[in-house]
A and B are shown apart, each in its own frame.
Chain A
Amino acid sequence: DIQMTQSPSSLSASVGDRVTISCRASQYINKFLNWYQQKPGKAPKLLIYAASKLQSGVPSRISGSGSGTDFTLTISSLQPEDFATYYCQQSYGSPPWTFGQGTKVEIK
């Protein structure tokens, strides 16, 4: 199985800050990396697919980049509604499709 490792596991930031979350795959996954946001008691919500494509309705302050094994989710100016846990997920080749362990973004 392809292992997905996110860093950091948590971070504290203030409204308006630029936030970067990293995700590393244990092997090459091309650009087949998706990002989700999850708030307490809710299902994950798709933010980014294929590493950099913004899902419809997701604000443009959120962006994704990377290919191969290293990927980044960036929030350019953190807003109150962005405090949540973020997960990466790979969909390269054959299943199983795997998720990272999550990065929790908390209010400083």
Chain B
Amino acid sequence: QVQLLESGPGPVKPSETLSLTCTVSGFSITSGNYWGWIRQSPGKGPEWIGSIFHTGSTYHNPSLQSRVTISVDTSKNQISLRLRSVTAADTAMYYCARMYFDISTSYYFDYWGQGTLVTVSS
């Protein structure tokens, strides 16, 4: 059973860097899938942040690209997110998810972590 677990610092101050880790269990992150970060502000729809393949190949949402770094640690079966220069607008629940791809179906997010709430506040 694929399980994902996000971990992070909780509160972050404005202008600082948000750092989150997603630990995957029950499935190797080198097994041919992309892995993504998605966030959801209170009362809003989810927003895709970016995705990474185990080789380090990444896609980012252009709206966040200049502030985002996504990395992978295959030895720990983990992916990580760093978001620089945060503001209150970055307050959200942050999820990691597996992106399944098939040529006939394109991408979809089939396994999700429980999410971690990040609050940006001074």
Contacts and interface: CB of A to CB of B under 8 A. Distances in A.
Interface of A: 1, 32, 34, 36, 42-46, 49-50, 53, 55, 87, 89, 91-92, 95-102
20 contacts: A32-B106, A34-B109, A43-B112, A43-B115, A46-B110, A49-B108, A50-B105, A53-B105, A55-B110, A87-B45, A89-B46, A91-B107, A95-B60, A96-B48, A99-B45, A99-B46, A99-B48, A100-B45, A101-B45, A102-B45
Contact of A97 (B104, B107, B115): B107
A53 B113 CA distance: 23
Contacts, number: 63
B57 interface: no
A44 B44 CA distance: 13
Interface string B47-69: 11001000000011111000000
B37 interface: no
A45 B105 contact: no
Question: Is chain B's binding surface mostly helix, strand, loop or mixed?
Answer: strand
A8 to B, nearest CB: 14
Nearest to B113: A43
Interface in B83-122: 95, 97, 100, 104-110, 112-115
A49 to B, nearest CB: 4
B41 to A, nearest CB: 11
A44 B108 CA distance: 12
A104 to B, nearest CB: 10
Contact of B63 (A42, A44, A96): A96
Contacts of A1: 62
